[in-house]
Structure 1
Amino acid sequence: MKYSNLFWIAGICLLIFSCGKKEEENCELDSEILNQELDLEIVRLEREFFDAKSQEDFSFLIEKYPEFTETYLRPDLYPSLDTLTAELLMIHQDSSMRTLNDSVQLVFNDFSDIEKELETAFKAIKYYFPEFQVPKVYTFVSGFNTDLVVTEEVIVIGLDYFLPPTHEFQPELARYMAERYDRPYIVPMIVTAISSQFNNTNPQDNTLLAEMIYYGKAYHFTKAIIPCTSDQFIIGYTPDEISECYANEEFIWSHFVQNELLYETNPFEIRKYMGEAPFTDAISTKAPGRLGRWLGWNIVDDYVMNQDVTLQMLMMNPDAELIFRQSGYRPRPPA
C-alpha cells in the first residue's frame, strides 16, 4: 500500500490525538513541585528601550542589565560602547520598529499567563534537577532578528516573533515554520532548549539513531516538565499531522528499517529525516518534516515506560543504542 493511501487512514482516528499516546488525563504536577519557592525575574526590556530618549539613556540600560548586554547586544563586536549606543538610538528612532513595538505591546500587554507557565516549568526543572539555576528572563523586540536566546544565566524572548500568525507583521520564515511562532509555543520552546543542559550524549556517536534519541529525550523532558501542554506545541505538528503519524507509524518504522537508516552517518541523509522541512519527502510529500525526531520521541517514551527509569536517569544516559535496544519499541497498528 502506498504511503498516500496509508495517510488517508488517519481520517478514521479522532483528530484530537486519539491516535497518540502522550496526552494524559491527569496531567497536573505534584503539589510538592508546585509549592516550592522560586524567584523568577522577568524584565520587559522593550518597554524601557522605547522609553529611552538619548545615548546616555542607553548607556544606563547597558549598565543596568549586564547579562542582557553581554548575551544579546554583544558589545565586544563594536569598536566602543558609544558606537553601540548610537546604533541603539538609531534603532529606537526607526518608525517601523516603533510601529512593531506598538503591536507587540497590544498583543503582550498582559504577560501573566506566560510568566505563570515559566514559573511552574522552572519549579519542575528545579525539582528534578536541583542544580538548575533559574535564569533571568528578558522580553524584547528584536526587529525579527532573534526569536529566542536561551543560556544557563539568561533567556531573551523576541516577542515580535510570537505575534499571532494572522498578524500583519511576520518574520521571514517558511509558512510551515511561521505557524509554530505563536504564543502557546513560547514556554515549550524554552523548556526544550533548557533540556540540552541535562541531555548527556556520546560525541563519538554520529548516527541518525543518536540524533533521534537526542530529540526524543528533549521532547520527553519537555512533556515531563509541562505535562498539560499539548504535543502540538512541543514538536510543532498540527493535530492532524500527529494523528496521521500515529496512523502510519508502522509504515514509517518499516521505511527506517528496510533502508537501514538507524546507523546512517551521512549528514545529508540524516538531514532528510531530522532537519527542518515542510515534509519528509524521502517517505512522502504528505509526511511532515522532522519525522526522525517524532520517531525518536516514541522510542524514548517506550524506554522510560518499559525500563521504569526516572527523568534524571534518562537524561544522564548518553547511550543511544542502549536506550533503543532496551525500549522494546514497536510501532502501534493504526486504530
Structure 2
Amino acid sequence: MKASRLILISSLILLIFSCGKKEETCQLDEDILDQELELTITRLEQEFFSAKTQEDFSFLLEKHPEFTQIYLQADLYPSLDTLASELLTIHQDSAMQVLNDSVQQVFTDFSDVEKELENAFKYIKHYFPEFKIPKIYTFVSGFNSDLVVTEDIIVIGLDYYLPPSHTFQPELARYMAERYDRPYIVPMIVTAISSRFNQTNPQDKTLLAEMIYYGKAYHFTKAILPCTSDQFIIGYTPDQISESFANEEFIWAHFVENELLYETNPFEIRKYMGEAPFTDAISTKAPGRLGRWLGWNIVDDYVFNQDMSLYQLMGNPDAEQIFRQSGYRPRPPA
C-alpha cells in the first residue's frame, strides 16, 4: 500500500466512513437479558494472598479442584503438598505482594466486568442453548498467564489487564500490550468461546480458510457484544480501523493480484494473519493481522446477503462457500 493513500485522506472522512459500517447505535435485546442466569466470579487471588501457611494453600487447592487441575496443572506435581509449598513461596515473595496490591487497587470494583460477562453469556445461551456457564476465577499470575478459557472454567489473570500506563506491565511488544486493558477482557473471553462453535474443515489449509475462521470469530463476538466497539474486538485503534476501511479497495486488490486467497505456505499466511505491529507485505502503515480484518468483512457480507443466523454461520465449515456466497466487494472510500 502506498503510504500516501493512508496519510492524505482526512481524519474526519475516515471516522465517518468507518463508523458508518459497523459502529452503529445499538441497544441490547431486553428479551435476551430477561433470562435467568447465575454467574459468580471468585476473586481467587484474594484468597491465595490471604493464605499464610502451607496448610492454608492445601485447603484452597482442595476447595477449588477445577482451578487446581486445569489452571495450576496439579498432575505435573508429585503431590498437592508439593504444589502448596511452591505456591506459599511464590505468594510470600515481596514483588508478588506489591503486584497483588496494585491489582486490588485497580480492580477493587469488578462489577462492570461481571455484568458485561453476564450479559454476554445470556446472549450466547440465546443463540446456543447448549452453552454451559463456566466457573469464573480471577487470579494474579505474576505475568505467567493472561487468560484461560475452557468449557469448565475461565481464569482471568488480572495483572495482565492493569492499565497500559501502569508501572507493572507484561513482557509484550507495545502494540500487543496496549490491548491488555480492562475493556478488552470480555471481548477476549467471548472470542475464545467462539472457537467451540466455529466449525472448520481441517483439510483446508488455505489463507482464505484462516481468514474466514477469524471473520466468523469476530462476527460472533460482535453479535454477542453488539454495543462493544470494534477496537476492543479486533484490537485495532480507531485510526487503524478508519484507515483500513479507507484503503479497503487497495487491500483487496493486493490479495487478488498476488493470488493470496488459496495460498497454503504457512510463512506467507503468517504475514497476513500473525501478530505483528504492521502488515509489511502491504505497507508499514497497515496494521497487523489484516487478513483477519478482511475475513471479518467477508463474513459480515455473507451473513447479510444470505440472511444467515449466527448458529448457521458458526456451523458452516466451508470457507470457500462462505466467500463465494458473500458477494463481498470492498467499499469505496467515502
Quote the Cα distance in structure 1 between the aligned partners of 2:13 and 2:59: 56
Post-superposition Cα deviations, 1:280-311, rounded to whole Å, max 9, x if no partner, equal: 00000000000000000000000000000000
1:24 paired with 2:48, answer no
Are 2:190 and 1:191 aligned?
Answer: yes
Asked whether the equivalents of residues 58 and 88 of structure 1 are also in contact (C-alpha less than 8 Å), the reply is yes
The answer (yes or no) to whether the contact 1:13–1:19 under 8 Å persists in 2 is: no
| Other-structure match for 1:61 | 60
Q: Distance in 2 between matches of 1:140 and 1:30?
A: 32
CA shift, 1:32, in A, is 1.4
Instruction: Tell me the percent identity.
Output: 78
Q: How much has 1:247 moved relative to structure 2? A: 0.5
Q: Offset at 1:28? A: 1.7
Aligned partner of residue 139 in structure 1, secondary structure: strand
Corresponding residue SS for 1:18? helix
Query: Deviation at 1:16?
Result: 4.3
Moved more, 64-73 or 2-11: 2-11
Instruction: Report the number of matched residues.
Output: 333
- Conserved in 2, the CA contact under 8 Å of 1:274 and 1:289? yes
Q: In structure 2, give the amino acid aligned to 1:31.
A: E
The answer (yes or no) to whether the contact 2:14–2:246 under 8 Å persists in 1 is no
TM-score (norm 2): 0.98
CA–CA separation in structure 1 for the residues paired with 2:208 and 2:12: 29
For 1:140, the equivalent position in structure 2 comes to 139
Task: Assess if the C-alpha contact under 8 Å between 1:199 and 1:218 holds in 2.
Answer: yes
Task: List aligned pairs for 1:31-180, cutoff 5 A.
Answer: 31-180=30-179
2:287 is the alignment partner of 1:288 = yes
More displaced, 302-311 or 75-84? Answer: 75-84
Q: Could you tell me how far 1:173 is from its partner in structure 2?
A: 0.2
**Partner in structure 2 of residue 210 of structure 1:** 209
Q: Secondary structure at the match of 1:170?
A: coil
- 1:220-259 alignment, distance < 5 Å: 220-259=219-258
The 3 A distance-change label for structure 1 pair 10 and 225 is farther
Shift of 1:17: 5.8
Q: Is the 8 A contact 1:176 1:278 kept in 2?
A: yes
Runs of 5+ consecutive residues of structure 2 not aligned to the other structure: none
Q: What per-residue deviation string (whole Å, max 9, x for no partner) do you get for residues 137-194 of structure 1?
A: 0000000000000001100000000000000000000000000000000000000000
Paired residues of 1:273 and 1:289 also in contact (CA < 8 A): yes
Secondary structure of the 1:279 match is coil
In the alignment, the residues of structure 2 paired with residue 47 and residue 12 of structure 1 have an alpha-carbon distance, to the nearest angstrom, of 45
Shift of the alpha carbon at 1:57? Answer: 0.5
Contact 1:275 1:290 in 2 (8 A): yes
Q: Contact 2:103/2:158 (CA < 8 Å) preserved in 1?
A: yes
Work out whether residues 68 and 74 of structure 2, in 8 Å CA contact, stay in contact via their aligned partners in 1: yes
Q: Deviations over 1:4-54 (max 9, x none)?
A: 0111244254454632411122x2222110000001121000000000011
| SS state at 2:260 partner | coil
Matches of 2:312 and 2:250, distance apart in 1: 31
8 Å Cα contact 1:42-1:138 kept in structure 2: yes
Instruction: Provide the TM-score with structure 1 as the length reference.
Output: 0.98
CA contact (8 A) 2:199 2:316 kept: yes
Aligned partners of 1:42, 1:179: CA distance in 2, in Å?
A: 25
| Aligned alpha-carbon RMSD (Å) | 1.0
Deviations 1:240-274 (A, max 9, x none): 00000000000000000000000000000000000
The aligned amino acid for 1:253 is: W
User: Following the alignment from structure 1 to structure 2, what is the Cα–Cα distance between the partners of residues 152 and 172?
Assistant: 28
Check the 8 A contact 1:273/1:292 in 2, yes or no.
Answer: yes
Distance change >3 Å, CA 17–CA 295, structure 1 → 2: farther
Contact kept, 8 Å, 1:16 with 1:243, in 2: the verdict is yes
Note closer, same or farther for the CA distance 1:17–1:270 as it changes in structure 2 (3 Å cut): farther
Shift of 1:124: 0.2
- Distance in 1 (CA, whole Å) between partners of 2:28 and 2:106 is 29
Instruction: State the 4+ residue runs in structure 1 displaced beyond 3 angstroms.
Output: 12-18
